Amino acid sequence: LEPIRIVLEQIERIAEGPTGFDPASTRRSFNVATPDYLNAMLLGEVVTDVHKLAPKAQIAFHSMTQNSDYPRALESGELDLVIGNWPNPPDHLRTAPLFEDRMVVMMRTGHPLATGQLSMSDWLGADHVVPTPYSVGQRGVVDVFLARERMRRNVVAHVPYFHMAPFMLINSDLIFTAPARFAEHYTTMLPLSIVPAPVELPSMAYYLLWHDRTQHSAECRWFRERIVRAARAAPATPSLRRVA
């Protein structure tokens, strides 16, 4: 199979021609799978940038669930890219780093704990809403940290989508530990506050994944570059301007 793959890649490069890819004239539809919590922060910028340079192209964003077989979808061509934050992505997929984000704690403005610095006991004992992992067997950075330290937090609700959690905080004493960019986005729209985590939790690292099948595709390479540019252009550390 390996010699066949090499030959196919060579044919693909020849087919691209000497001028490669012309964004202005392409009608390509790019397919990307991404966690829902990136939608509001990054994907709008990607669409704006791509549409400006490739006005006839389309982008189809696909949700990620526990039943998503993204390696197979990348290999078959159903997907061109996946944006993820797995600690150990599959070795057979290509990767490119996008950005890292620190973890903060969200709660309603006026919450009893929205007073500045959380203690570890207050954070662990509070009522937590947590997201359901979008990959079977996956654990988030918070759960990995807690397992390593042999600690448990008081989880009272699981949600299938990150974007449900902020609205659940408004009229409750629930708290939500989330990436800072996500938290910053929602505190500009809702009566929510951001408080630093009681300890420095591991950062959440995001990256692109793609299959060797598209490694030498000029159009896919161009699209990857647009996503990387958009991700790295955003502020790495948003200000916590809504801390109570």
Asked if domains 2-100+204-233 and 101-196 share a fold, the reply is yes
Q: How many helices (H) and strands (E) does the chain have?
A: 8, 10
Percent of all residues in the chain with a pLDDT value above 90, rounded to a whole number:
58
Alpha helices in the chain (DSSP H): 2-16, 44-53, 70-76, 120-125, 141-149, 165-169, 180-187, 218-233
Question: How do strand 81-84 and strand 204-210 relate by DSSP bridges?
Answer: antiparallel
Q: Which residues pair with 33 in a beta bridge?
A: 62, 82
Q: What is the pLDDT of residue 40?
A: 62
CA atoms of 122 and 241, how far apart (whole Å): 22
The topology (CATH level 3) of 2-100+204-233 is D-Maltodextrin-Binding Protein; domain 2 (3.40.190)
For the cut 50, the answer to whether the pLDDT of residue 94 exceeds it is yes
For the cut 70, the answer to whether the pLDDT of residue 178 exceeds it is yes
Q: What is the pLDDT of residue 17?
A: 45
CA distances from 31 to 15, 37, 60, 133, 216 (A): 21, 18, 5, 22, 17
The topology (CATH level 3) of 101-196 is D-Maltodextrin-Binding Protein; domain 2 (3.40.190)
Domain boundaries, the chain: 2-100+204-233, 101-196
Average pLDDT value for residue range 100-109: 95
Name the pLDDT band for 139 (thresholds 50, 70, 90).
confident
Backbone angles phi, psi at 238, to 5 degrees: -65, 150
CA atoms of 155 and 161, how far apart (whole Å): 16
Under 8 Å between Cβ of 180 and 206:
no
Percent of all residues in the chain with a pLDDT value above 70, rounded to a whole number:
83
